Amino acid sequence: MKKWWVTLGVIVVIVVGGLIGAGSYFYHVAIARGDKAFVTQSTTLSKKSQVYREKYWYLHVKKQTWTIKSHDGLKLVAWYIPKKGSTKTVVLAHGFAGNKSLMGAWAGMYHELGYNVLAMDSRASGASAGRAIGYGWLERRDDLQWAKTVLKRTATKQIVMSGISMGAAGMTMASGEQQLPQIKAYVVDSPYTSAKAIISYQAKQLYNLPAFPLVDVTSAITKLRAGYTFGEADAVSQIRKNKLPIMIISGTKDDFVPTKMGKTLYRNANQPKELWLVKGAGHTTAITQNYAKYKQHVADFLAQYVK
């Protein structure tokens, strides 16, 4: 009998140890700062691209480098590009494993629409400090702090909050927090519903692994090492608290963040809201699929709320 209990104990130790080891590995893959091999983002400047002009402008335009300190003491970095005579500013957030230098298409579009542009490096990305990616939950407070900084440093009277992918999810989460009166609207491209949902989806897509128990173990490790759980990083619960206009953009061929996540966010949002499903577009590719149409959709939505 005693031998049976010893054997069972050894098996439990091996299983638990294996789960912790696997969870630590996936923490490194998904949360810890560093290159993410499973994410490919093109930096090629092709003249054939519909957003060549915007990217070329962004590459060469004079930028002001701004820094702030986050609520938890991290040095955060952003580029600010003024629009002569404008008192409206967009705060832009990049996607997972991205950085501000990849935001040329969106920065160029907003600048053409008359906005000053603040493109940030999220924590643990680009030139900003930090060891852990927050999947939007940690970033939501940083996003709002950048908005406050814009008001302090410029003559801005109206702000639009915008982001793509993880940046879109973070902005959606920010929309559920207390808002500055100068923030007039949110525009989010390819947001996910929660960290738990997207990580579970990617575990299946990339590794053919079930969410339970690996995602839960990784979430517990993330709580210990980064201060949040995947369940906390919930854009659905946050969008329910949002009272500002929000535009959600999702591609119907998005295989990185399922289109249904955009639909779920839209269902849970309060009015005024808009869901634009872009037929045939992949993850954050709606802007390059038909730039003129994308720009017009965003312009028409914002014209209702930003004067």
The per-residue pLDDT for 99 is 97
Distance CA 19, CA 25 (A): 10
Backbone φ and ψ of 272, nearest 5°: -80, 140
The per-residue pLDDT for 146 is 98
Distance CA 292, CA 105 (A): 12
Domain boundaries, the chain: 1-30+196-230, 49-194+233-303
Residues 212, 18, 8, CA angle at the centre, nearest 5°? 95
User: Does residue 29 contact residue 36 with C-beta atoms inside 8 Å?
Assistant: yes
The per-residue pLDDT for 16 is 44
The per-residue pLDDT for 9 is 46
Mean pLDDT by 10 residues, the chain (307 residues): 50 48 76 70 76 96 98 97 98 96 97 98 97 97 98 98 98 98 98 97 82 87 95 97 98 96 98 98 97 98 97
User: Does residue 92 contact residue 107 with C-beta atoms inside 8 Å?
Assistant: yes
User: Does residue 168 contact residue 140 with C-beta atoms inside 8 Å?
Assistant: no
Distance CA 212, CA 209 (A): 9
User: Does residue 58 contact residue 103 with C-beta atoms inside 8 Å?
Assistant: yes
Torsion angle of alpha carbons 120, 229, 148, 79, nearest 10°?
-10
Structure token digits, residue 162:
């915008």
Distance CA 21, CA 198 (A): 21
Distance CA 99, CA 58 (A): 14
User: Does residue 186 contact residue 164 with C-beta atoms inside 8 Å?
Assistant: no
Find all residues with CB under 8 Å of 89, minimum gap 6, and list them: 115, 116, 117, 118, 150, 154, 156, 158, 159, 160
Query: Would you tell me which CATH number, out of the four given (3.20.20.80, 3.40.50.920, 3.40.50.1820, 3.40.50.1370), belongs to the domain 49-194+233-303?
Result: 3.40.50.1820
User: Does residue 78 contact residue 121 with C-beta atoms inside 8 Å?
Assistant: yes
Helices vs strands, H then E, count in the chain: 11, 8
The per-residue pLDDT for 4 is 53
Distance CA 221, CA 82 (A): 41
